[in-house]
């Protein structure tokens, strides 16, 4: 697991993961998600949602996984968008990331570093 909270911090982590696997096999996805959320395993939640074809919920779980410290979650979210054929959105996410509210960040431009700021004159080179 790549999140900040995991097996080292939570002795019940593996037990809840095993229970979630059993619940998933018996068709109780929502109960499995509940078990994984108790361990803060947002990556596991995202994978379950992807397997079930619940891609919007998977995308939200990947963002939550990123918020909790998983440095690979953005790549997984990009992969999900690419698999759905949403390559423009995938490219946008890879390049600009998420906004704080979880939406995809819009393209932004970097100001020209050689331009004066607030009317200040540039120093001679």
Q: Is 5 within a domain?
A: no
CA 48 to chain centroid: 14
65-68: long-range contacts at Cβ-Cβ below 8 A with a sequence spacing of 24 or more?
65/2, 65/3, 66/98, 68/3, 68/4, 68/5, 68/40, 68/42
Quote the domain boundaries for residue 20. 13-96
Number of domains in the chain: 1
What CATH number is given to the structural domain containing 90?
Answer: 1.25.40.10
Distance (Å, rounded) from C-alpha 108 to C-alpha 36?
36
Q: Is 1 within a domain?
A: no
Could you read off the pLDDT tens digit of each residue along the chain, which spans 125 residues? 344 444 455 556 667 777 788 888 888 888 888 888 888 889 999 999 998 999 999 999 999 999 999 999 999 999 999 999 999 999 999 999 999 888 899 988 877 767 666 655 555 55
Return the pLDDT at 117: 64
């Amino acid at each position: 697991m790549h999140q900040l909270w995991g097996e080292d911090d939570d002795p019940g982590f593996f037990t809840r993961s095993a229970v979630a696997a059993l619940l998933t096999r018996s068709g109780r996805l929502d109960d499995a998600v509940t078990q994984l959320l108790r361990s803060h395993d947002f990556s596991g939640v995202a994978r379950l949602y992807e397997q079930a074809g619940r891609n919007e919920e998977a995308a939200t779980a990947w963002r939550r996984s990123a918020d909790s410290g998983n440095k690979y979650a953005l790549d997984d979210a990009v992969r999900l968008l690419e698999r759905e054929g949403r390559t423009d959105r995938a490219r946008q996410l890879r390049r600009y990331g998420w906004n704080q509210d979880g939406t995809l960040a819009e393209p932004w431009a970097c100001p020209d570093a050689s331009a004066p700021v607030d009317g200040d004159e540039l120093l001679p080179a």
